Amino acid sequence: AQTVTQSQPEMSVQEAETVTLSCTYDTSESDYYLFWYKQPPSRQMILVIRQEAYKQQNATENRFSVNFQKAAKSFSLKISDSQLGDAAMYFCAYRSAFTGNQFYFGTGTSLTVIP
Amino acid sequence: DAGVTQSPTHLIKTRGQQVTLRCSPKSGHDTVSWYQQALGQGPQFIFQYYEEEERQRGNFPDRFSGHQFPNYSSELNVNALLLGDSALYLCASSALGGFRDPYEQYFGPGTRLTVT
């Protein structure tokens, strides 16, 4: 089974600064999708950004960007110009391109934004 | 356009009891997946329903069962509740099994189940 590892249980960042959250995954598949989800205290999981494994170009969504290293099986999230509203749990997730749309999640990183 | 809705928001049950959680998918979606999120953990896949059948199942015992109705809404049933079943239960919906659009998985706000 695929595994997703987030080695940073907690991170903090000063407002307006940049922070990078780490994620590694283990798979033998050649094609898959990777996601970062945000879960604020309201509990609703919100999609932040996604990346198709076959694309070499790193995905970018406004202040959010990823560094996808397929050979290293690494998928980090960079948040630029951090805002107070970015404070939340962030989960990295993996989805196979072949075996249904089951998502495998990491254990999450709690991000605190310091005013 | 309503997103994914779940009911109830919170639930307290006693060990050994049975519980039913409900989910209505986002408009236009026909597939429902259920996840269990224990405190401090990431969501873990329980099972997925499409065309009223269980299509995929994670590593959960048979005490966990489900159903999907013709209107695509779904129920999660848990029998013989254990203390370890206390968790946030998330429902996620997608369209056409998710194969055509892998990004289209929207989550509901979850049901917090506490087993005492």
Which residue's structure tokens are 């780490």? A22
Distance CA A38, CA A7 (A): 17
Q: Is B42 near chain A, with CB under 8 Å?
A: yes
B55 in reach of chain A (CB within 8 A) = yes
Residue whose C-alpha is closest to residue A59's, from A42, A47, A41: A47
Q: Nearest chain B Cα to A101, which residue?
A: B98
User: Minimal Cα distance from A4: which residue of B?
Assistant: B42
**Are the beta carbons of A105 and B44 separated by less than 8 Å?**
yes
Interchain contact, A103 vs B92, CB within 8 Å = yes
| Residues A6/A105, Cβ–Cβ less than 8 Å | no
Using alpha carbons only, give the angle A85, B43, A12 rounded to the nearest 5 degrees.
Answer: 35
Digit-coded pLDDT (tens) for A74-107: 999 999 999 999 999 999 999 988 876 789 999 9
Q: What is the pLDDT along chain B (116 residues), one digit of tens a residue?
A: 679 999 999 999 999 999 999 999 998 888 999 999 999 899 999 999 999 999 889 999 999 999 999 999 999 999 999 999 999 999 999 886 555 565 678 899 999 999 99
Using CB atoms, which residue from A33, A37, A105 is nearest to B102?
Answer: A33
Across the interface, of B42, B56, B94, the residue whose CB is closest to A108 is B42
